[in-house]
Amino acid sequence: METSESRIREAARHPADPDPVPSTKAAAAYALSILALVLSQVIGGVIPAVLALRLAKEADAEIAHSQGFLLGAAKSGKARRFSYIAFGVASFMTAVWLVWWVFRLAASAGGA
């Protein structure tokens, strides 16, 4: 069932306008952020997270500039969120590793 808003949007669209297409940068940023989440436990997820954040920023700019002909703002937002989570997990794992290393260093120095 069509709503009045969708009918107005369809009527306002010029027939020569291109069809809306998904943003490939948003999809790439989303894929990189998933990879960053997977690799974040071994601290290797920082690099894909940085790349995902950069691509998500570019995708947001292109989506805003396209005036509705590029889709993918939700994927770009999810990519940002997943990348920040990957940064958090990698930071936590780094802190755990450092604490473990300090305790091992202290234990070996104490003769235990």
Domain boundaries, the chain: 18-109
User: What does the alpha-carbon distance between residue 73 and residue 76 come to, in Å, rounded to a whole number?
Assistant: 5
Which whole-number Å values give the CA distances from 42 to 21, 27, 35, 86, 91, in the listed order? 36, 24, 12, 11, 10
Q: Which stretch of 2-6, 35-39, 94-98 has the lowest confidence by average pLDDT?
A: 2-6
pLDDT at 111 over 70: no
Looking from the CA of 7 toward its CB, the CA atoms found within 13 Å total 4
In 3D, which of 49, 46, 47, 48 has the Cα closest to residue 93? 46
This prediction's pTM: 0.78
Looking from the CA of 40 toward its CB, the CA atoms found within 13 Å total 22
For residue 58, give both structure tokens: 């570019």
Give the three-class secondary structure for 21.
strand
pLDDT tens readout for residues 37-88: 999 988 888 999 999 999 999 999 999 998 888 999 999 999 999 999 999 9
Which pLDDT belongs to residue 6? 57
Contact 26, 79 (CB under 8 A): yes
In 3D, which of 66, 64, 34 has the Cα closest to residue 51? 34
